[in-house]
C-alpha cells in the first residue's frame, strides 16, 4: 500500500461522515411563515390557503406573488454522467444534486429541490421535466451525458416558459470564456486571431467553443478532438454537434493539432498532454487543463517546460480554478429576479464580461482573508475571481438581469437594487 492510500481512505471516510451526521443529507426545508397559533394554521392551510389558490387559478402569474416558485430551482439529473464517475444511475447522483442545492443557497440564497429521474430514454426525461415544471422558477440540468444532454436541453427550452440551463454545458463555457479573455489580454493576444485546440467534444466542449465563437473566435482556427482524434471534414462518424466544428485539415492527432497553437482547452481525461506536445505550442500559450481531479497536464510539469504560459485547471489547489460556482448561482439569481423565461446568449455574454471585469478590479480584504493571502491581483495566477468573493452575487446577477430585460427575455422590470449596482 502506498503512503497516499491511507490519506485517501481517511478523506473518503470524512466525506461519508460529513454526509451522514448529524442527520443524513445536506439540504432540508425551511418554513418561512409563523405557525405558532390556530390562526396561523388556518392561514397556512385550510381554509385560508384557498384564497391564494383561487388567485393563481384566475391568473397563473400570481404564483410568483403567493408561492415560493419565483425563488425555487429544480436541479435535475438522470445520473448518466455524474462528475468523473460516469453513468452511476439517478439515485447515486443525489449527493451531487444536494451539493448543488447547497451552493445555490449559500452563494445566491436560491432554494432548490433536487430531483433524480430514473428513466430509460431522453423523451421520458423531457416529459417528466415538462410535467413538473410549474413548480419552479427555473430548471438546472445536471450531469446528463452527451449527446443526449443537447437534445434534452433544446426540447425543454422550446417547451417551457422558465429558464433552462445545463450547467455542465453553459456554466463551464462562461467560466472558460471569461478566464480566456483575461489570459489572452495578459499574453498580448486577441481571441479573433488565436489558434485554439479543444481536447474533448462532449457536454462542456461544444458549448464552450460556440460561446468563444460568439466572442470572436474563428471556427477555422478551432481544432476539436474526440476519442478518435481530430474532428475533421473527412470523417463520416460525426454527430450533428461535432460536425459543426469539423474543419478541413491534415492534422489527425493531438500532437499534430498542438503545433503553434495559442490556446489549449482540455475537457477530456488526465495526462493526455505530454511535455513534447506542450513544447510545440506557440509563444505565450494559454493552457486550460480542466479534467478533474487529474488535469490533462499538471501545472508543475507544464511550467517546467514553458515558463511563458498562463495555466488554469479545475482544481482548487492550483491558481486559476475554472469553477462553475462562479456562474450558476448568480446567473440564476439575476434571471429569477426579473422573471426571465429563458437564458439567451445576451445573458451568457453578460456573465462572461462581468466575471472578466471583476477579476481586473482590486480584491477586497475579506477575500484575501478567506484564502489566507496577502496579495491577490490581476495577473497570470489570478485571471478569475475567487468563489468566495462577495461581489459576485451583485455584479454578475445584476449584469445578467439587465441583459435579460434589455433583450426581451424578462417578464419583470429591473429591480432598483440592480439599478444602483450598475450605476456605481
> In 3D, which of 278, 242, 244, 243 has the Cα closest to residue 261?
278
> In 3D, which of 409, 392, 350, 385 has the Cα closest to residue 109?
392
B/e letters for 80-117, b = 16+ CB within 10 Å, e = fewer, are: bbbeeeeeeebeebbbbbbbbbebbbebbebbbbbbbb
Residue 200 in contact with residue 266, Cβ under 8 Å?
yes
CA 248 to chain centre: 31
3-state secondary structure of 4: helix
Q: Is 386 a catalytic residue?
A: no
Residue 141 CA neighbour count, 13 Å, CB half: 33
Measured between alpha carbons, how far is 288 from 112 in angstroms, rounded to an integer? 31
Measured between alpha carbons, how far is 258 from 305 in angstroms, rounded to an integer? 15
Pairing of strands 196-199, 164-166: unpaired
> In 3D, which of 127, 143, 141 has the Cα closest to residue 87?
143
Measured between alpha carbons, how far is 395 from 354 in angstroms, rounded to an integer? 7
Q: What's 25's DSSP letter? A: S
Q: Is 100 a catalytic residue?
A: yes
Residue 131 CA neighbour count, 13 Å, CB half: 8
Measured between alpha carbons, how far is 287 from 281 in angstroms, rounded to an integer? 10
> In 3D, which of 402, 283, 276, 388 has the Cα closest to residue 334?
402
Active-site option among 69, 94, 100, 386: 100
Measured between alpha carbons, how far is 196 from 257 in angstroms, rounded to an integer? 9
- What number of other Cβ atoms are within 10 A of residue 9's Cβ? 11
> In 3D, which of 335, 356, 355, 336 has the Cα closest to residue 403?
335
Residues catalogued as catalytic: 45, 100
Amino acid at each position: 500500500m502506498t503512503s497516499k492510500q491511507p490519506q485517501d481512505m481517511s478523506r473518503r471516510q470524512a466525506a461519508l461522515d460529513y454526509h451522514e451526521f448529524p442527520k443524513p443529507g445536506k439540504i432540508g426545508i425551511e418554513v418561512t411563515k409563523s405557525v405558532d397559533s390556530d390562526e396561523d394554521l388556518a392561514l397556512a392551510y385550510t381554509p385560508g390557503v384557498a384564497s391564494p389558490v383561487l388567485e393563481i387559478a384566475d391568473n397563473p402569474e400570481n404564483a410568483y406573488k403567493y408561492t415560493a416558485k419565483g425563488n425555487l430551482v429544480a436541479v435535475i439529473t438522470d445520473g448518466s454522467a455524474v462528475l468523473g464517475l460516469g453513468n452511476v444511475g439517478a439515485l447515486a447522483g443525489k449527493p451531487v444534486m444536494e451539493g448543488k442545492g447547497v451552493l445555490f443557497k449559500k452563494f445566491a440564497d436560491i432554494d432548490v429541490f433536487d430531483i433524480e429521474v430514473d428513466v430509460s430514454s431522453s423523451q421520458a426525461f423531457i416529459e417528466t421535466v415538462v410535467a413538473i415544471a410549474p413548480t419552479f422558477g427555473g430548471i438546472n440540468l445536471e450531469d446528463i451525458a452527451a449527446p443526449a444532454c443537447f437534445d434534452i436541453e433544446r426540447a425543454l427550452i422550446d417547451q417551457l416558459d422558465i429558464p433552462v440551463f445545463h450547467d455542465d454545458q453553459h456554466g463551464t463555457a462562461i467560466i472558460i470564456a471569461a478566464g480566456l479573455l483575461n489570459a489572452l489580454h495578459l499574453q498580448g493576444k486577441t481571441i479573433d486571431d488565436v489558434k485554439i485546440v479543444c481536447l474533448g467534444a462532449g457536454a462542456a466542449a461544444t458549448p464552450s467553443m460556440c460561446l468563444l465563437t460568439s466572442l470572436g473566435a474563428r471556427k477555422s482556427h478551432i481544432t476539436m478532438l474526440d476519442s478518435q482524434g481530430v474532428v475533421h471534414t473527412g470523417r463520416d462518424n460525426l454527430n450533428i454537434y461535432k460536425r459543426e466544428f469539423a474543419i478541413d485539415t491534415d492534422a489527425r492527432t493531438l500532437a499534430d493539432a498542438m503545433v503553434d497553437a495559442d490556446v489549449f482547452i482540455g475537457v477530456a481525461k488526465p495526462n493526455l498532454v505530454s511535455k513534447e506536445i506542450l513544447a510545440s505550442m506557440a509563444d505565450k500559450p494559454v493552457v486550460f487543463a480542466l479534467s478533474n481531479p487529474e488535469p490533462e497536464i499538471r501545472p508543475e510539469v507544464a511550467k517546467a517546460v514553458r515558463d511563458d504560459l498562463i495555466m488554469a485547471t479545475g482544481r482548487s489547489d492550483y491558481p486559476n480554478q475554472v469553477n462553475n460556482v462562479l456562474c450558476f448561482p448568480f446567473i440564476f439569481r439575476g434571471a429569477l429576479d426579473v422573471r426571465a423565461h429563458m437564458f439567451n446568449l445576451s445573458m451568457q455574454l453578460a456573465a462572461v464580461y462581468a466575471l472578466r471585469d471583476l477579476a481586473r478590479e482590486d480584491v477586497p480584504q475579506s477575500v484575501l482573508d478567506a484564502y489566507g493571502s496577502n496579495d491577490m491581483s490581476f495577473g497570470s495566477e489570478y485571471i478569475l475571481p475567487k468563489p468566495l468573493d462577495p461581489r459576485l452575487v451583485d455584479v454578475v446577477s445584476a449584469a445578467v438581469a439587465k441583459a435579460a430585460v434589455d433583450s426581451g427575455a424578462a417578464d419583470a422590470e429591473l429591480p432598483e437594487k440592480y439599478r444602483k449596482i450598475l450605476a456605481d
